Amino acid sequence: MMQRSSSKTAVIAEDVHDHAHHGHDHGRMHVRPAGDHMTFRVEGMSCASCAATVQRAIESKPGVTRASVNVIDGRAVVEGVNLDAADIARTISEHGYPAEPIDETPAVAELRSEIEQRQIGHERLWKRRAIIAISIWVPLEALHWIGRAAGWHAAPDAHAIGWMDWLMLIGSTVVLIAAGGGFYRSAWTAARRGTTNMDTLIAIGATAAYVFSLVVFLARFFGRLQDQPLYFTESAALLGLISLGHWMEARATAKAGSAVRELLQLQPDEAEIAPDHGEGAPRRISSADVQPGDRLLIRPGARVPVDGVVVSGESDVDEAVVTGESIPVRRRAGGKVVAGSVNTTGQLIVEASVDGRHTTVARIAEMVQRAQSSKANIQRLADYVASIFVPAVLLIALATIVGWAIAGDLTRGVIAMCTVLIISCPCALGLATPMAVMVGAGAASRRGILIKSAMALETAGKATHVIFDKTGTLTIGQPRVAAISATGNENDLLRLAAAIETPSEHPIARAVVKAAAERDLNVPPVSNFKSITGQGVRGVVDGRIVEVLRDESATCRVVVDGRTIGTITVADEPRPDAADAIARLKGMGLAVMMLSGDRRAAAEAVGARIRLRPDEIEAEATPEQKVAFVESRTHAAPQAAGVRGGVIMVGDGINDAAALAAADLGIAMASGTNIAIESADIVIPSDRVASVAEAVDIARQTLRAIRQNLFFAFFYNAAAIPAAAFGLLGPFGPLFAAAAMGFSDITVIGNALRLKARLQQSR
């Protein structure tokens, strides 16, 4: 059976072991629509305008449905149908930004090296520019002020130029060439494509100050403009201070985005191949070269290089890399281990189940990096402003110099124009969202919480309602038979019920079968098995028609040849942290509900133990009713809360997939090796309900930081541009503007790092 949610495009795949008669939509998986998903490495982007240009170029290609370009990590993520990677890369390159598709999943060591090299190269580039510019500007500035007091600027006669002026000209020219080259190349590339970017403002501002000073410098040969000050040092200062700001930004970005690098460091570079039949010495190979079926020796204290199954040995394994839980778990023959886990005590022989390039660590790191590169809806405002901001500033700068010229003070107009161009550069606007998203997604991954995109992070931060599935989510998911009420022999009733339940893998069915096994009952085979959606199952056992149906007073009733012979009550234990998780969510102002297909009495019994009121429980819901319930809350939640919010549905990643798809945000509880990590908006460890509250808290703090950053960026530009245009910053306005622009970047970066520290403290 295939079903499509009306509120969200999602494909629901029916598992062959569906057992809907207990009210659970079993075996369904919430997956993304089919289509191409490509990642490109893009070089040369320096600001939000660059990213916007690249994004527009990608979205102009046929078949592209969505593109997300991140200036911080230099990547473009493209989604669509029938995409041509080479054509898209060529289009990006034609717009001045060399690009190449990243086709294969690189080895962990290669990916880690790529990230480190990119960060190191970016930081070194700006460090070199900043050192050159600052080391020239500072002495020149000092000499300038000393020279003014000592009269060193004075020339021997009216038609000559003092040696200090020559020194200022030569020094600023060196800075323009050495530190300004990158700005000019970026601005020129944009201009050739008929666009502008942040570097356009920097290049025009620095050039205007330099050219104005050069005109005055040459005029002095003819005895003109002797009293007009030169702004050579201001031009050098502008490039030096902005380069310094970019250097600090590069260092802070590497620090804020360290989550992916730290994840990749968890997987060792080498693995030990166990000797055949225990003879000979272990052989070391690169982890990337491990193939499925290879048997690996994992020594005490060593990390597991790839996902696998224990063949021999027994040990406690720390799986905090996946689950976020630092308490080691016991692993013996037949148990699964995950790449990056730490073998704490005994020695293990593990058979690899994946190759070294597709381990859980690599997949998690890839998804975290993808999340950090994605964009939240709130960033659309920043992107839109950035796309029109530079042309608007150029018009304001032109109006400024024209206005001052009309007022009769062209010199002051040139200075005001330069100040406007410099102080309005919206670099902070481009950093506001990605820096915070990078920190939030990274902090979540360290707790075993995988946030798949910036939009998921934003939705979680705005959520007003959380709806939990019961079985396997709020409860352990391993129900046991608690009571049997039979008109005849209990064992006969249980034997027939177990026979009819054997074909099913539903937790309640397994509980019945397990109870029969514990009593050593001889369970006969079933024929003509049939599932009745929303009601139960039916089959023929020992020549009799046996039905196991939903019951109002118990979990199910057993009917033989049309006559009820008794009932079975199955109970499930709540997860240890379920009550505290619900209390924390309520304390955060969220409305919490439980959605269950079980009878009301059983659902309310569980609800009472986890502090849910009867009116917060929706019981006896069929799969279709679950979807309808979630959709009704999804449509009503924003109006009920009075703010734009949404509904989170929490399930086990397999159950209730249609309900997960119907919600604004689906959270799957699944182990890191489960396929569910590929299919949900957010994935949390399978045994930690408390992670739902942690995810919401991280999302809220991240969203708050984004809003603060955007406020800083908008407020800064709104206040600074008028002050610069009216000349309120004085003759040294360009210098103050360069310092102020750097300060705005530092404010945004500092706020992101403050968020990182706060999230680390709240663990």
Q: Which of 691, 656, 653 has the alpha carbon at shortest distance from 673?
A: 653
| DSSP single-letter state for residue 588 | T
Residue 419 and residue 538: Cα distance in Å, rounded?
A: 81
- Whether 697 and 500 have beta carbons less than 8 Å apart is answered as no
Q: Which of 200, 246, 668 has the alpha carbon at shortest distance from 449?
A: 668
Residue 75 and residue 97: Cα distance in Å, rounded?
A: 11
Which of the following is catalytic: 199, 294, 469, 681? Answer: 469
Q: Which of 676, 697, 696 has the alpha carbon at shortest distance from 686?
A: 676
Q: Which of 171, 105, 164 has the alpha carbon at shortest distance from 135?
A: 171
Residue 167 CB partners (closer than 8 Å, separation 6+): 140, 143
Burial class (CB in 10 A: 0-12, 13-18, 19+), 62: exposed
The conformational region for residue 711 under phi > 0 = left, psi -120 to 50 = alpha, else beta, is alpha
Classify 425 as helix, strand or coil: coil
Instruction: State the SS3 of 511-555.
Output: HHHHHHHHCCCCCCCCEEEEEECCCEEEEEECCEEEEEEECCCCC
Question: Residue for token digits 């660059």?
Answer: 50
List Cα–Cα distances, 252 to 123, 126, 132, 408, 537, in angstroms: 10, 13, 21, 45, 60
Q: Taking the mean position of all CA atoms in its chain, how far away is CA 599?
A: 38
Instruction: State the SS3 of 262-314.
Output: HHHHCCCCEEEECCHHHCCCCEEEEHHHCCCCCEEEECCCCECCCCEEEEEEC
- Whether 736 and 416 have beta carbons less than 8 Å apart is answered as no
| DSSP single-letter state for residue 14 | P
Residue 69 and residue 60: Cα distance in Å, rounded?
A: 14
Residue 710 and residue 285: Cα distance in Å, rounded?
A: 49
Residue 317 and residue 38: Cα distance in Å, rounded?
A: 35
- Whether 38 and 83 have beta carbons less than 8 Å apart is answered as yes
The question of whether 25 is a catalytic residue gets the answer no
| Token digits of residue 595 | 């959605």
| DSSP single-letter state for residue 220 | G
- Which residues participate in catalysis according to the annotation? 469
